[in-house]
Amino acid sequence: MAEQTAPVDEQALDEVVRFTSDLIRIDTTNRGGGDCRERPAAEYAAARLAEAGLEPTLLERTEGRTNVVARIEGTDPSADALLVHGHLDVVPARAEDWSVHPFSGEIRDGVVWGRGAVDMKNMDAMILAAVRQWARHGVRPRRDIVIAFTADEEASAEDGSGFLADRHPGLFEGCTEGISESGAFTFHDGAGRQLYPIAAGERGTGWLKLTARGRAGHGSKVNRDNAVTRLAAAIARIGAHEWPLRLTPTVRAALTELAALYGIDAALDDPEGVDRLLEKLGPAAALVEPTVRNSANPTMLDAGYKINVIPGEAVGHVDGRYVPGGEDEFRETLDLLTGPHVDWEFEHREVALQAPVDSVTYARMRAAVEEFAPEGHVVPYCMPGGTDAKQFSRLGITGYGFAPLKLPEGFDYAALFHGVDERVPVEALHFGVRVLDRFLRTA
């Protein structure tokens, strides 16, 4: 067996770039409602795994919505297994809005362009490149590694991680922890510091449908039971609501570490003190601010069919998110804000997640980043949105966000998620595969 700490070879560095570009060129746009076909990307990933001597399994709930699962046996059969997962689908992109075609996978001036470059075909490519390097050098990790490439993450996950967790739990036997997207990327704070947030939690997802009912009638007549008016009033109340501060252990740990790094006193039990701390953190506050409370943002309205007809029903949609432990407060608040004439229901609901930041696994992720970015400062954070970790949590798997990238200053990572001109530097991919390789060998 080869030395377990051997460096990543040149072939892996070349492959992580090529695989990212190849996967981008496979259009796996997920428009919701089942309008997506991940199978070509799944077959591509499965072929790369098979070339490395693994035996990937392809699974579908719906034709064309393909998932890939493979297991690498570790050297310690008594150790818990680790799940490493990435999704294959991407959000839509309009070519006319982009500097390059969003599915070109073009490599220009040391940057890979295209939809999925950061969300998250880059991480898929890192996984493939790392695993193939192990095969070339006879490397085995300490614990079993289960690799999963999933469909449908950008919608309901019903054809992806939800299907796998509900219908094929045996494939994940022994997995107690998992890693996936949105963590260990460079965050430049504008004052010369480089932060590397590793995700140890996610807010819960509460996508809501609001329905207001009233009395239909002629638009010229007085109508105190106007469904549009009732919906508009409820939507306005929701949009204006000030949610109270709710610090979870992950967010509290993040604020504590950031306060120490910046030399700021942290009065975390005082809401005004937290607000002052966030103000003093400057740009770094963006890592924490979205997750210190619940949120509910109105996003869509649908009512009426003619200007002089008052409809009997009006419908609105709200993107709600709640911190770990905050779902009851979220529900109770929505009941109050919608009032007696507007009903609400979950169109899509997923749990909030929290992972320990004092675990051995977290420490090893931190160490892997610090080895290749000694100038950086690793901090925990909670993701404001959600990932496939929610579905895999049904199997008792604790999820972390760990998709390492070393990014240059001025490269707005967060804005490129679902944004125009999504791209990733080649050097960021090289850093990522090195860090991922080191972590997975020691995990």
Q: Are 149 and 45 in contact (CB under 8 A)?
A: yes
Within a 13 Å sphere around the CA of 161, how many CA atoms are in the beta-carbon half?
Answer: 30
Within a 13 Å sphere around the CA of 324, how many CA atoms are in the beta-carbon half?
Answer: 18
Within a 13 Å sphere around the CA of 372, how many CA atoms are in the beta-carbon half?
Answer: 28
What strands lie across the sheet with 111-113, from one edge to the other?
Answer: 107-108, 111-113, 423-425
Q: Are 284 and 189 in contact (CB under 8 A)?
A: yes
Concerning whether 375 is annotated as a catalytic residue, the answer is: no
Task: Kindly name the residue from 22, 38, 89, 181 that is annotated as catalytic.
Answer: 89
Question: Which tokens is 180 given?
Answer: 């996936």
Q: Are 17 and 429 in contact (CB under 8 A)?
A: yes
Concerning whether 119 is annotated as a catalytic residue, the answer is: no
Question: Which tokens is 314 given?
Answer: 């009006």
Three-state secondary structure string covering the chain: CCCCCCCCCHHHHHHHHHHHHHHHHCCCECCCCCCCCCHHHHHHHHHHHHHCCCCCEEEECCCCCEEEEEEECCCCCCCCEEEEEEECCECCCCHHHCCCCCCCCCEECCEEECCCCCCCHHHHHHHHHHHHHHHHHCCCCCCCEEEEEECCCCCCCCCCHHHHHHHCHHHHCCEEEEEECCCCECEECCCCCEEEEEEEEECEEEEEEEEEECCCEECCCCCCCCHHHHHHHHHHHHHHCCCCCCCCHHHHHHHHHHHHHHCCCCCCCCHHHHHHHHHHHHHHHHHCHHHCCCEEEEEEEEECCCCCEECCEEEEEEEEEECCCCHHHHHHHHHHHHCCCEEEEEEEEECCEECCCCCHHHHHHHHHHHHHCCCCEEEEEEECCCCCHHHHHHHCCEEEECCCECCCCCCCHHHHCCCCCCEEEHHHHHHHHHHHHHHHHHC
Task: Kindly name the residue from 15, 38, 153, 177 that is annotated as catalytic.
Answer: 153
* Integer Cα distance of 115 and 295 in angstroms: 28
- Active-site residues: which are they? 89, 153
